[in-house]
Amino acid sequence: MTVRFTSPVPGEMTEGQLAIYKLFATGRRAQPGNPFSLVDASGRLQGPPAAWVLAPPLGRALEQLGGAVRYELSLPARASEIAILLVAHHHASPFELYAHTRAGAAAGLSPEDLRALAAGQPPALSTDAERITYAVTRAILAAGTLDDEEYAAAVSVLGAAGLFELATLIGWYSMVAVQLAVFGLRPPGEPG
């Protein structure tokens, strides 16, 4: 794939684009110890926000929703990363795999867990939340929904609110995978 789009450097950005840039160059996503950065060594945005600067009103809204999905869910971090990695593998999304392999490791997924997910196998699932997250994510990615039995099992473990969070997480990272693919946004150091 050829390089399709590269985010402008801050000096080339409009005021609206620069406001979005600052959301990713500072704040919780730029804190030391974050498993991946959304600003590359040249100062350009990478990953999803690289394209979000194309439409600043949408970029601002996506940043807010993305922040909520990434940082404010009640799902345990390890369970969330299992779901995100399942989505990333399902869509063969290189940037999502790059970022969330690192985030998954930071959340407690072992190298063996990460290899299992890459091979289409379950990782070590040590809690009911992890087991149901894995099952629900696989079902939604395969069928686009849950049957009545799957829904009842998910609600019995996660509650309706937790299932809503998980369904939103799956939908969010599926949307992001499509955006990354369309604009050819790859991990750092990987050719377009």
Q: Are residues 62 and 106 in the same domain?
A: no
pLDDT of residue 32: 80
Instruction: Indicate if the pLDDT at residue 161 is higher than 70.
Output: yes
* 192 located within any domain: no
pLDDT of residue 182: 96
Instruction: Indicate if the pLDDT at residue 3 is higher than 80.
Output: no
Instruction: Indicate if the pLDDT at residue 55 is higher than 70.
Output: yes
pTM as predicted: 0.94
Q: Are residues 98 and 117 in the same domain?
A: yes
Q: What is the mean pLDDT of residues 75-96?
A: 97
* 4 located within any domain: no
* Residue 23 burial (C-beta neighbours within 10 Å; 0-12, 13-18, 19+): buried
- Domain range for 111 is 77-181
Q: Are residues 90 and 159 in the same domain?
A: yes
Strand partners, 45: 39
| Region of poorest pLDDT, from 33-37, 125-129, 136-140 | 33-37
**CATH code for position 143:** 1.20.1290.10
pLDDT of residue 147: 98
pLDDT digits (tens, 9 = 90+) for 92-135: 999 999 999 999 999 999 999 999 999 999 999 999 999 999 99
Domain stop point among 71, 86, 111: 71
* 188 located within any domain: no
When pLDDT is cut at 50, 70 and 90, the band that residue 60 belongs to is: very high
